[in-house]
Amino acid sequence: MDNRPENKPDSAQLHLVLISLHGLIRGQNLELGRDADTGGQILYVVELLRALAADPRVGRVDLLTRRIHDSNVADDYARQDETLPDLPKAHIIRFPAGPDEYLPKEALWPYLDGFSDHAMEYLRQQSPSLIHSHYADAGYVGMRLALQLGVPLVHTGHSLGRSKRQSLLASGESERTLEKNIACPSVSVLRKKFWLLPP
């Protein structure tokens, strides 16, 4: 008889957690191109969720994202737990982060700690094997969760700010100033908490 809690993977199987906060994320009928936050990253993360859930070494994959209650978007984004019908090991778990309405990614930063708290409450019961964060906002959340849970963190940046960099250079910022402002604080934080692997 199997006494494991419902939907909890066998301890020999991996429990992977993906985090992607912005945009509109659901398991089917993606609204790609609706706005600047519903592009390739959404497609990539949902396809990654599907691919990992199909792997026999994986017992469960949770994609953590923001819960949205907004009359301007489908009710799908307000569901707390969405299990993909064709992949029972794949779950999209939504937590509140700030106001209910759909927000652009730039407006989410003040609410990331609250999202982290909800995610931590959930993950303490789940015992994940690894966290994989997507984009800077989720990277911040992922780092907090990984440190608290003592699990590895993998991060995919997706956008490296190429167009923003070009805009700042065109406005008179120097290359050296940009590199210093971006690299120095990031490296000092990472050196304290994580190993940096050379390319």
- Contacts within 8 Å (CB) and 24+ apart, 101-107: 101/68, 101/69, 101/70, 101/72, 102/24, 102/68, 102/70, 102/72, 102/73, 102/77, 104/22, 104/35, 104/36, 104/37, 105/21, 105/22, 105/23, 105/37, 105/135, 105/137
Residue range 14-159, CATH number:
3.40.50.2000
Which DSSP string corresponds to 2-27?
--SPTTPPPTTSEEEEEE--SS---S
Report whether pLDDT(45) > 50: yes
Q: What is the mean pLDDT of residues 109-123?
A: 97
Domain ranges of the chain: 14-159, 162-199
What one-letter code names the amino acid at 30? L
pLDDT confidence of residue 157: 80
Q: With left for phi above 0 and alpha for psi between -120 and 50, is residue 48 left, alpha or beta?
A: alpha
Q: What is the mean pLDDT of residues 35-45?
A: 89
pTM of the model as a whole: 0.78
* Cα(22)–Cα(106) distance, integer angstroms: 9
Going by pLDDT thresholds of 50, 70 and 90, the confidence category of residue 156 is confident
Report whether pLDDT(72) > 90: yes
Going through the chain in order, the beta strands assigned E by DSSP cover 14-19, 58-66, 81-84, 87-95, 130-134, 153-156
Which of 7-11, 81-85, 138-142, 184-188 is least confident? 184-188
Going by pLDDT thresholds of 50, 70 and 90, the confidence category of residue 189 is very low
Q: What is the mean pLDDT of residues 148-161?
A: 84
| Angle, CA 16 vertex, CA 197 and CA 156 arms, to 5° | 40
Report whether pLDDT(147) > 80: yes
Q: What is the mean pLDDT of residues 133-160?
A: 90
